[in-house]
């Protein structure tokens, strides 16, 4: 294979790879109260810094990729963000903007520093409301609607619902049991902080049942166990 052929092969491979990663999404932005289209909404693809604006009919078309974050801003409205799913991306995005202004980050969390799961989850849910509220067909329903149950769109949407639940649970644990909070209460830093979080990161089902007292008591007890283990390992 000569040099020119090799160069052409590499070029074609890279071109196909880029096409496989990139995608274009379309949708519309609406006012939450009036349900009317919003023009002039600034849309930013956070990963690539690409910026566009909605047309007079509120529509948009933007190039993005899996797991990228899209941000929607308009003066007088709260900022909305949409994370592009990795496995399945809806064919059409309907973004709802609510009138108001962004709260400072310090007021978006509770006074005790725990992650405000309900507000964040509700905001994210509204972006994928149509896909998430698609009913699950099983048993009699699957038999009554066999073509729907076997369709590619239904299977992809169900997969997205499952992945969404998993993502929400993992996000809740990561943002609740976060390095800043752990460092504040334990004084751990650097590699010690990383090892502690890796070892004692709680499961979602356990963490969601903890009230503030049991959560901070969990941190206190596990920190004691961690320091004892570090001391023993250092003495060896």
Q: For 29-42, what is each residue's pLDDT tens digit?
A: 999 999 999 999 99
Q: How high is the pLDDT of residue 135? A: 63
Q: For 150-206, what is each residue's pLDDT tens digit?
A: 566 666 666 666 676 677 788 888 888 989 999 988 999 999 999 999 899 988 888
171 is written with which tokens? 């996000």
Residue from 180, 169, 177 nearest 219 by CA: 177
Domains of the chain as residue ranges with CATH: 23-127 (2.60.40.1120), 177-235 (no CATH)
Q: Give yes or no for a contact between 54 and 42, defined as CB atoms under 8 angstroms apart.
A: no
User: For the chain, what percentages of helix, strand and coil (3-state, to nearest 5) are there?
Assistant: 50, 15, 30
Cα–Cα distance for residue pair 163/158, rounded to 1 Å: 9
SS (H, E, C) 163-225: HHHHHHHHHHHHHHCCHHHHHHHHCCCHHHHHHHHHHHCCCHHHHCCCCHHHHHHHHHHHHHH
Rounded alpha-carbon distances, angstroms, from residue 114 to 26, 101, 183: 35, 22, 14
Q: For 128-161, what is each residue's pLDDT tens digit?
A: 666 555 666 565 454 445 545 456 666 666 666 6
């Amino acid at each position: 294979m000569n040099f020119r052929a090799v160069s052409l092969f590499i070029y074609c491979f890279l071109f196909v790879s880029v096409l496989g990663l990139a995608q274009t999404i379309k949708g519309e932005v609406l006012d939450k109260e009036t349900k009317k289209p919003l023009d002039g909404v600034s849309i930013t693809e956070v990963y690539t810094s690409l910026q566009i604006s909605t047309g007079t009919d509120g529509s948009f078309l933007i190039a993005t990729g899996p797991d990228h974050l899209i941000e929607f801003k308009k003066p007088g409205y709260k900022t909305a963000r949409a994370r592009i799913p990795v496995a399945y991306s809806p064919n059409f995005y309907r973004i709802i903007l609510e009138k108001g202004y962004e709260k400072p980050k310090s007021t978006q969390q509770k006074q005790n520093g725990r992650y405000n799961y309900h507000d964040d989850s509700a905001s994210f849910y509204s972006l994928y409301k149509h896909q998430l509220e698609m009913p699950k067909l099983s048993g009699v329903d699957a038999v009554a609607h066999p073509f729907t149950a076997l369709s590619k769109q239904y299977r992809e949407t169900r997969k997205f619902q499952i992945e969404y639940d998993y993502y929400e649970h993992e996000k809740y644990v990561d943002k609740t049991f976060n390095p800043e909070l752990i460092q504040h209460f334990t004084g751990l830093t650097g590699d010690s902080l990383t090892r502690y979080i890796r070892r004692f990161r709680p499961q979602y089902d356990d963490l969601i049942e903890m009230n503030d007292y049991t959560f901070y008591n969990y941190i206190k007890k596990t920190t004691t166990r961690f320091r004892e283990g570090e001391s023993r390992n250092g003495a060896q």
